[in-house]
Chain A
Amino acid sequence: MTGFDLSEILTNPEFVAMLLHGIEMTFIIAIGSWLLAMTLAILLLALRFAPGRFGNAFVAGYVSYHRNVPTLVQLMLWYFGIFTLLPDWLTYWLASHNAEAIFAIIGLGLCQAAYFSEDLRSGLRSVSPGQMEAARALGHGYISAMRFVLMPQGVRNALPPLINHSVSLFKNSSLGVVIGASELTHAVKEIENLSFRTFEIYLIGTVLYLFFSLLIMAGGAYLTMRADPATRARA
């Protein structure tokens, strides 16, 4: 093993293919769990605002569990625990359809839904209650008032934390490696084992993660600027 040499990895078609597959898998996991998390978050929010105390208590419990148990432990509980409790046919089906990635998406998505729903809730709470009353007075029903008056303002307020949590979701997709999902960190470790060029491949992996994270942060900053009426004209 000689000095620093990135080309050893970047010109080897096998390694490049592994890296690309890793990036693809990271994106599948990150985007899949983001969509799952957002859908669940909106459902949780609806439950939270629904009349009756049961929904509220359920959501509070859900959020509390997912925020206080380490994400890794949640993933382990899903993959090592709940996977074994499923009926046989489902286990076979999952095993032949990349169960690792599916459980990474489920585990990360359910976990992140708790954070997203809390972000949205605090965003909505900072919208003045007068907005709802005004919307109702103008003839909007509850749903339509939510959809056209409250949510646009609430989501705008919630954008900065939502973007921060989206970045952490992207970073957390690396936890998939612990349950064997073949994402970017997995590819990095495989290539390390094959090439023994630890420094180079870690550097490539780090730069890739950093690049995509900064891209999400920059996109988020642009969105926040667009959404803010005070700076919209300049965007």
Chain B
Amino acid sequence: MINDIIAIIQDYWLLLLIGQYPNGPLGGLANTLILSALSIGLAFPFSILLALARLSKWSFLRWPVTVLVYVTRGVPLLMLILWSYFLVPLLTGADVPSFVTMLTTLVVYQAAFLSEVVRAGIVALGHGQMEAAKALGHGYFGAMRFVILPQALYNMIPSILSTFVSTIKDTTLGYVINVPDLTFAASQVNNQLLTQPFQVFLILAVIYYAICWSLTHVAYRLERRITRRRAGLTGVRPTAVIAPVKIVSEQL
């Protein structure tokens, strides 16, 4: 078993890493990471606009966004991918690569999810910040730009990172429309070997685990640091603050 796994990695590591790149489209792990990074990068500015619209006092801005958020929360991502696969070529009138289809879906989907994160971040700051900024002579946009968003976004860094992790996991669904990502590369390997599906998919699972686990870990570390800084405990040793809480709650 172990020998099989090592042999597969030795034979196919390049395919799993970059797909058939020099001779074909970029694929594999590289494409998975590019796709996730691009979708989060593009979804982020949209999510801020959506969050501001959802917090707006005008219902014609609030309603469409609320509907969008509920639709993305209530419909499987797979269904949305099928929609884009059908609609994107129809609307653009061009033969769109599956990578772009997947990117479009993920941007819409993650923008809706992130907008909830941004909204929570803004609401958590409380009214006082906005009122103080207005009292200092900022308009709505000035207050958002210089007072509210810098604080809200800083507090949200861990949530954004965990959204990035779920985006990496969501890119696997591109498999159904043949996006050349890591999952696709693994199923190519499986189709060539035919006899060792368990070994191939185990390798796939381990690769995803390694990436997502390390990112989750970074998010967790960042979250603790930010919580401490928010509480004004920058110089204090972390163990002194965190440890008693943990001991009490683990006594169950």
| A-side contacts of B216, CB under 8 Å | 67-68
Chain A min CB distance to B80 (Å)? 8
Q: Are A73's CB and B74's CB within 8 A?
A: no
Rounded to whole angstroms, the CA-CA distance of A91 and B73 in the bound complex is 37
**Stretch among A12-20, A32-40, A76-84 lining the B interface:** A76-84
Asked if B205 is at the interface (CB within 8 A of a chain A CB), the reply is: yes
| Stretch in A2-10, A98-106, A207-215, A223-231 with 4+ CB within 8 Å of B | A207-215
Contacts of B201 in A (CB 8 A): 73, 76-77, 80-81
In the complex, the answer to whether B198 meets A77 with C-beta atoms within 8 Å is yes
Residue of B nearest to A68 (CB): B212
Q: Is the pair B176, A178 in contact by a Cβ cutoff of 8 Å?
A: yes
- Distance between B1 CB and nearest chain A CB, rounded to angstroms: 10
A99 to B75 CA separation, bound complex (whole angstroms): 25
- Knowing A84-B197, A178-B175, A206-B83, say if A69 contacts B212 (CB, 8 Å): yes
Q: How many residues of A contact B (CB 8 A)?
A: 46
Q: Does A23 contact B (CB under 8 A)?
A: no
Identify B78's interface contact among A73, A76, A129, A177, CB under 8 A.
Answer: A177
Nearest-neighbour CB distance to chain B for A200, whole angstroms, equals 11
Total A-B residue contacts, Cβ distance less than 8 Å: 123
Number of chain B residues whose Cβ lies closer than 8 Å to a Cβ of chain A:
41
Q: From B123-131, B234-242, B244-252, give the one contacting chain A.
A: B244-252
Chain B contacts of A127 at CB under 8 A?
A: 252
Chain B residues with CB below 8 A from A84, complex form: 197-198
With A129-B252, A150-B252 known as contacts, the answer to whether A69 contacts B79 (CB < 8 A) is no
Contact of B208 among A73, A80, A210 (CB under 8 A): A73
Chain A residues with Cβ below 8 Å from B71 are 206, 210
Q: Is B140 interfacial (CB 8 A cutoff)?
A: no
Q: How far is the CA of A72 from the CA of B74 in the complex (A)?
A: 19
Report how far A64 CA is from B74 CA in the complex, Å: 26
In the assembled complex, the CB of B87 is this many whole angstroms from the nearest CB of chain A, namely 9
Residues of A within 8 A of B76 (CB): 171-175, 185, 209
Residue of B nearest to A164 (CB): B73
CA gap between A202 and B86 in the complex, in Å: 9
Which residues of chain A from 98 to 141 have any CB-CB distance to chain B below 8 Å in the complex?
124-127, 129, 132
Instruction: For B171, give the chain A residue with the smallest CB separation.
Output: A70
Q: Which of B210-252 contact A (CB under 8 A)?
A: 212-213, 216, 248-252
What are the residues of chain B within 8 A of A49 when measuring CB–CB? 252
Shortest A110–chain B CB gap in Å is 13
| Chain B residues, CB < 8 A from A209 | 74-76, 79
Chain A residue nearest to B200 in the complex (CB): A81
B70 close to chain A: CB less than 8 A: yes
Beta-carbon contact of A202 and B79 below 8 Å: yes
**Any chain A CB within 8 A of the CB of B202?**
yes
Q: How far is B243's CA from A95's CA once the two chains are assembled, in angstroms?
A: 52
Contacting residues, chain B, for A206 (C-beta < 8 A): 71, 75, 79, 83
A189 at the interface (CB under 8 A from B): yes
Contact partners of A199 in chain B: CB under 8 A: 86
Residues from chain B with Cβ under 8 Å of A213 in the complex: 73-75
Return the CB mask of A172-200 against B: 1 if under 8 Å, else 0: 11110110000001001100000000110
List, in ascending order, chain A residues with CB within 8 A of B66's CB: none
- B169 contacts the other chain (Cβ, under 8 Å)? yes
Please tell me if the beta carbons of A174 and B212 are within 8 angstroms of each other in the complex.
no
> Can you list 22 residue pairs at the A/B interface with Cβ under 8 Å?
A67-B216, A70-B169, A70-B170, A70-B172, A73-B172, A73-B204, A77-B202, A81-B202, A129-B252, A132-B252, A150-B252, A171-B74, A171-B76, A171-B77, A185-B78, A188-B79, A202-B83, A206-B75, A206-B79, A206-B83, A209-B79, A213-B75
List 19 additional A-B contacts (Cβ < 8 Å) besides A81-B202, A125-B250, A150-B252.
A64-B213, A65-B205, A68-B216, A72-B173, A73-B183, A76-B204, A84-B197, A85-B198, A129-B251, A167-B73, A171-B74, A171-B75, A174-B78, A174-B79, A175-B76, A175-B78, A198-B86, A202-B79, A202-B82
Those 4 A-B pairs whose CB atoms lie nearest each other, nearest first: A213-B74, A81-B198, A174-B76, A70-B169
On A, residues with C-beta under 8 Å from B are: 49, 64-65, 67-74, 76-77, 80-82, 84-85, 124-127, 129, 132, 150, 167, 171-175, 177-178, 185, 188-189, 198-199, 202, 205-206, 209-210, 213-214, 217
